[in-house]
Structure 1
C-alpha cells in the first residue's frame, strides 16, 4: 500500500473556500450536498476542496449508506497555533530589543 503525501495544514487553509468549508463544519457534520449548497461552485469543485482538506487531516469523512458525511478534525490546527505563538514570541523579543536600543540611544 502506497501512502498518500500529507498536505501542509497552512497550505490547506490558504484557500478562502476551504476556510469557509471548515467554518461550516465547526457547527455540525454535513454531506457534500449540504456543503455545496453554500457555494457558487460545482459539487465536483467542493469535492476537490474536501479531498484536499481530508489529506491535510482537517476533515474526516464517514460513509453512511450511500452518503458521505464530513466533519471537522481540529487537531491539525494546533500546528498553526504553535507556529503563530512562535512568531508572536519572536516579534515580541525583537520589538523589545529595538525599544531598549532606541531608549538607550535617546539617553
Structure 2
C-alpha cells in the first residue's frame, strides 16, 4: 500500500517552473524518457533527472525501466492531495458567494 503524500510535497514539487514544465511534458506525452525530455526542456540531462526525482518523490510520476532507458509517466492520483486541499476552498468560496448573492438581492430586490 502506498503511503499518503502530503499536499505540501505536491505543492513544493510543482512550485518550480522548470519542474512544472517537465511534469506537463510527461503528462502531455504519456510516457517519455529522460533524453526526450532533455531535448524538449532546454536544461541539462542532470537537471531533468533531478526534477524527475522530485516529481517521483511527490507521487506525480512513475518510472518504468526498459533496458538502459527509463520511461516516465504522469500518475493522476499524485494530484489527489492538491485537489483535496483545493476542494475545501471551493466549498468555502461557494458558500461565501452564495451568501453575497442573497445579501445583494436583499439590498437591491
**Correspondence 1:1-107 to 2 at 5 A:** 8-26=9-27, 27-104=29-106
SS at 2:73 equivalent: strand
Q: How many residues align?
A: 103
The alpha carbon displacement at 1:104 in A equals 4.0
Give the alignment's TM-score, normalised by structure 1.
0.79
The alpha carbon displacement at 1:50 in A equals 0.4
When structure 1 is superposed on structure 2, of 23-32 and 34-43 the one drifting more is 23-32
In structure 1, what is the Cα distance between the partners aligned to 2:96 and 2:30? 41
The alpha carbon displacement at 1:95 in A equals 2.4
Give the alignment's TM-score, normalised by structure 2.
0.78
- Residues 27-66 of structure 1: CA deviation (Å, up to 9, x unaligned): 2211111111011211111111001001001111122111
Name stretches of at least 5 consecutive residues in structure 2 with no aligned partner.
none
